[in-house]
Amino acid sequence: MTQIDENSEMPGAILEFEDIEFNQSEQDSEVIVLKFMKTYYSNISKTELEKIAKFDISKDNKKITFYDVNENVAERKFNLILSRALDALHWKINGQEKEIKYIHRNSGIPLFGCIGFGIVDRGTSMIELRPNTGCNLNCIFCSVDEGISSRKTIDYVVEPDYLAEELNNLIEFKKNQRIQNQTKSSEPIKFSIFINPAGEPLLYPKLKELIKKVSLIENVETISIMTNAALLTSSIADELIESGLTQFNISLSSLDDKKSKMIAGTKLITETTLNTETKLITDSELITETTTYDTGKIKEVISSIKTKHPEIKIILAPVLLNGLNQEDIEQIILFAKETKCEVGIQNYLKYKQGRTPKKIKQVEFSDFFDLLKKWESKYDIDLIKNYKLVKTAQFEPVVKKGDIIKAEIKCLGRKPGELIGVLEGRSSRSITILTESISGYASGEMKKSGYVKIKIIRAKDGLYSGIKL
């Protein structure tokens, strides 16, 4: 294989791709590494490509040329190889290699039904988008168990065009239902789109493109993201705002350098103990050397955004960890007032499949709101939020709890013992299938195709899960 001279006249089929690059493997001379969205990768055997015809790769690594073969034939055969490669993607995060499932419009996986990816609609004017999974931090309180200590074995990334198209379809449905149900004319619904993945949105390679596509949808008024801001820079913020982002929600639970790193799981401050069988944190928190977490830099970026873009809303969203960061949150309130940000304090809640840091107890909600009222009075700031969401139509449920139905398996779920499927006869809805236990942490080999009989255990807010029978 030799690299082609793009200015020369060469016979053959030239296949060019926008989001795909081809690179020679540094470990194996007989392997071409396919790089997707500059982030994900898969290996292709040279022998497999040579079965199509003799080939070369362009200097920019975005074109592959096959010689002495009809273009249609080359494209058809290569697309089969490409399909297999895209179905075997991996990526590296926090020094770990993980499998990643690319969910696109031809994947056969609907974007409605699973909480981990796609679109979550709870019947209001606020719609959540979940374009990716995976996180660069390892927060000790993480409610969705993301980061290096996560028990999840696969990540998801969703095609931006697919997400935008399905979001537009949902918004059109809501608008049409409102028109049909109104006896008098009313103001059109203004939708708030919240990019809130089970992980960090700044890891999504197509975030700018997604925001731009969403901003072009009629009746979308605001677009916001929830980010830990460790990867955020002033230039990235400028690009996101230019694309149409109107609000940053920043998870920031301390301004103290050492304490913030400990909370984010990025600095070793105590001896780590890990039960390797269940991968559950035991005597102390699993602290890892992951992304550099610099609260000083984050403060500078926040100040820069508010200086350059005063119209952009920033909500600082600390998690109250009782006994650990109460005084830190007061410092965050003062910083918010100084920079003209808002504050939305979250109460730490224990989730069955989230992390439960030792010695941190959940505060009763009555006590939590009493504390917020105390801080409101002390600092003259609004902390108890009353978001005015408009109730809107939802897609009709396709099954109900207790139903027994078949589902077609589409891919592995994020946790061992979990599958993602499509409900038989209801191809517009995906479902999470638990194969051995409700916890979803069963072990053993999983088949990735075929049909299974399941019992529905959840059918609420357009989200579905079931147990394999």
Phi-psi sector, 450: left (phi>0), alpha (psi -120 to 50), beta: left
Distance CA 101, CA 300 (A): 35
* pLDDT tens, residue by residue, 135-192: 999 999 999 999 988 889 899 999 999 999 999 999 999 998 876 666 455 678 899 9
Q: How confident is the model at residue 447 (pLDDT cuts 50, 70, 90)?
A: low
Q: Which domains does the chain have, with CATH numbers?
A: 3-88 (no CATH), 106-379 (3.20.20.70), 404-468 (2.40.50)
418 forms bridges with which residues in the sheet?
A: 434
The pLDDT of residue 224: 98
- Spatial contact of 302 and 314, defined as CB atoms under 8 Å apart: yes
Distance CA 155, CA 135 (A): 10
Exposure string over 236-256, b if 16+ CB within 10 A, otherwise e: ebeebbebbbbbbbbbbbbbe
What average pLDDT does this structure show over 56-84?
94
Q: Please give the single-letter amino acid code of residue 75.
A: E
Distance CA 45, CA 68 (A): 20
* pLDDT tens, residue by residue, 49-66: 999 999 999 999 999 999
157 forms bridges with which residues in the sheet?
A: 102, 132
* Percent above pLDDT 70 for the chain: 88
Integer angstrom CA distances of residue 315 from 112, 198, 215, 229, 302: 28, 19, 20, 12, 10
| Cα dihedral 401, 402, 406, 408 sign | positive
158 forms bridges with which residues in the sheet?
A: 103
188 secondary structure, DSSP code: P
63 forms bridges with which residues in the sheet?
A: 16
Pairing of strands 463-468, 451-460: antiparallel
Q: Provide the angle, in degrees to the nearest 10, between the axes of the packed helices 160-181 and 207-215.
A: 30
* pLDDT tens, residue by residue, 257-304: 999 999 998 864 333 322 322 222 222 333 334 457 899 999 999 999
